[in-house]
Homo-oligomer: A and B are copies of this chain.
């Protein structure tokens, strides 16, 4: 549990460096990330390296007692490299290369870029791999940012054909798997297959899904190349990558599998503005972020990180990149920092030390203002550092990795599949996963977020947002876990090849829950369908309905917990499986999850508005995103490690279990 910061010595006069390092240390910062955009300074001209400045910067930081997170600079290839190899540029869906002049202007499939990356990574890792101040590594920066995973270049298409050969073996197998007979789309060889783009009407969904899988695999391949070079030159130093919250164009699990630390960049206000939330929700949480957004992502990356996950970039004030960029309320930088630790973060690293006065991000706040005064975010970071001194090692380490009782299955392929094949224009997978998570959190529950391929033993409640393709052993793992399992609509609705299962949805899960989804019904945003539960609660269904055939013989083995107004089942329980045939309004969703939790033997009561609770190690943390003071009854004053029983808005408290 430590604080860090992102620092760009190349942006500032060398005369400032020592003072910067000193002030970092004094503020309580322990690790400093550097150099992820510095290629043009490391290698100003082809093959001519300039390490002097970076040697001095690393020394200054090391001498101040700071640990360096050294980065490979591959997110920003310099102009001379692009001019030598224009085929490095990724190609957009419009067929046009995306130009030099910002960042991430490279194609993961470009052979020239792969080679150039090997060269610069070897150079950096060779130079700093064993430097005593260099404690960690970061590969590249924010894979997937700015929609850069999917490219339509010649190089990508050529590699895609190889990828298809490896997957299908023969082109006949591909034709069968995709069902290309449908519109005379049959191929006679892999070389006839192009990228699924610019077609007259929608391209074949299986073709599109495979292209997305391929593009995701290219990211993993590229990252793995960097990891292997670093490991060779810098043994024993953990390697991280900073994932970007909901940038889901690639499978984060697959990239994280090669890393030691899954880090992520947490911008709660920018994310609120840019994501799916309705305008009134954006206004409501304008200056705090949504109470479940950061913690959702903490739980995502905790689930895939070998070492404790990090927040590599923590929003310290207003940012520059959202459509609107409000200032956080005082207290929020502290709250967000503690919330990360409460979810198991090993490090919270602020972005950036000092606001830069130039270029694209000059309106992005730092811990210090451009005129080098400590900004409010810096003051709050300092307060966190002070408070950390009151936390004992025993509070933190004891049970840091103990599982929650509730698991939520989160899947990247599901996002791609529903994007390609939505059937209802606003069928947005991350939203549904988030809404389930949010309902659970509003009931005071801790949640582990896990892959569909993860072991499930030990959980008491497993929640599965719409998971169209279920792994072959999923039903078996669910059954073996002994948990209550809540499954969202469209789960098991597709085979791996994006076909409808022969037995109709839920496909392989019918072995556990022998029903049959015989029809679906997608609903436009101004339509809802009334729902009534068996215990006479009422609510509304929205967006989607699975129409369920319970079968004649077996109907008695099901409990229909809710019905739509036209009599179709809205929520069916069979054994330990709970099938939600739709999405429900927030209140009804919360109510149904509370009931399922009770079935699982978990106590679940709604928390006050804006209040969230997280348990980790020996501590229980309480966060107040709301507008009113929240008072904790029955906790003795001496148990509080942070704060006290009266938690102000934007306040935090943490107390020991006993």
Interface residues of A (CB under 8 A from B): 10-11, 37-41, 44-45, 73, 75-80, 83, 90, 94-105, 145-146, 148, 178-188, 192, 194, 196-207, 273, 279-280, 282-283, 286, 317-318, 320, 323-327, 355-363, 365, 369-371, 373, 375-376, 421, 423-425, 497-504, 516, 518-524, 526-527, 545, 547
Contact = CB atoms under 8 A, between A and B. Distances in A.
Contacts of A95: 96
B10 A181 contact: yes
Given A79-B185, A279-B524, A206 B318 contact: no
Nearest to A545: B327
Contacts of A527: 283, 286, 326
A204 B363 CA distance: 13
Given A41-B181, A96-B95, A357-B499, A423 B325 contact: yes
Contacts of A280: 526
A41 B186 CA distance: 9
A202 to B, nearest CB: 6
Contact of A500 (B10, B181, B323, B357): B357
B518 A83 contact: no
Given A185-B79, A518-B375, A360 B202 contact: yes
Contact of A203 (B38, B80, B101, B185): B101
23 contacts: A37-B182, A37-B183, A45-B188, A77-B184, A99-B199, A99-B200, A102-B185, A104-B200, A104-B201, A105-B199, A146-B200, A179-B362, A205-B362, A279-B526, A283-B526, A286-B527, A323-B425, A326-B521, A355-B500, A358-B500, A369-B518, A369-B519, A371-B516
A207 B102 CA distance: 11
A359 B500 contact: no
Contacts of A500: 355, 357-358, 362, 370
Nearest to A425: B323
Given A178-B358, A283-B524, A199 B41 contact: no
Contacts of A369: 504, 518-519
A15 to B, nearest CB: 15
Contact of A102 (B178, B183, B358, B375): B183
Nearest to A519: B327
A372 to B, nearest CB: 10
Contact of A359 (B178, B326, B523): B178
A519 B287 CA distance: 14
A327 B547 CA distance: 10
Most chain B Cβ neighbours within 10 Å, of A41, A180, A360: A360
Contact of A184 (B37, B185, B365, B376): B37
Nearest to A370: B500
A365 B519 contact: yes
A40 B181 contact: yes
Given A200-B148, A357-B502, A524 B323 contact: yes
A193 to B, nearest CB: 9
Contacts of A96: 94-95, 198
B502 A103 contact: no
Contacts of A103: 183-184, 200-201
A200 B566 CA distance: 49
A605 to B, nearest CB: 32
Given A77-B184, A357-B502, 11 more contacts: A76-B183, A78-B186, A101-B185, A105-B199, A148-B200, A182-B360, A185-B359, A205-B362, A371-B502, A371-B504, A373-B518
Contact of A40 (B10, B184, B196, B317): B184
Contacts of A523: 324, 326
A97 B538 CA distance: 53
A497 B146 CA distance: 26
A77 B183 CA distance: 9
Contacts of A318: 519-522
A361 B425 CA distance: 15
A360 B44 CA distance: 50
Nearest to A326: B521
Given A94-B94, A363-B520, A206 B371 contact: no
Contacts of A356: 179, 182
B80 A198 contact: no
7 closest Cβ pairs, A-B complex: A179-B358, A182-B359, A40-B184, A76-B184, A357-B500, A101-B199, A323-B425
Contacts of A522: 318, 324-326
Contacts of A197: 99
B188 A359 contact: no
Contacts of A192: 79-80, 83
A572 to B, nearest CB: 18
Nearest to A10: B181
Contacts of A100: 185, 194, 199
A527 to B, nearest CB: 5
A207 B360 CA distance: 10
B524 A273 contact: yes
Given A104-B201, A279-B524, A359 B206 contact: yes
B524 A363 contact: no
Contacts of A519: 317-318, 327, 365, 369, 375-376
Nearest to A83: B192
B38 A184 contact: yes
Contacts of A361: 182
Given A40-B184, A186-B40, A524-B282, A101 B196 contact: yes
A358 B499 CA distance: 5
B326 A101 contact: no
A324 B524 contact: yes
A102 B202 contact: yes
B187 A79 contact: yes
Nearest to A92: B198
A478 B251 CA distance: 58
B187 A499 contact: no
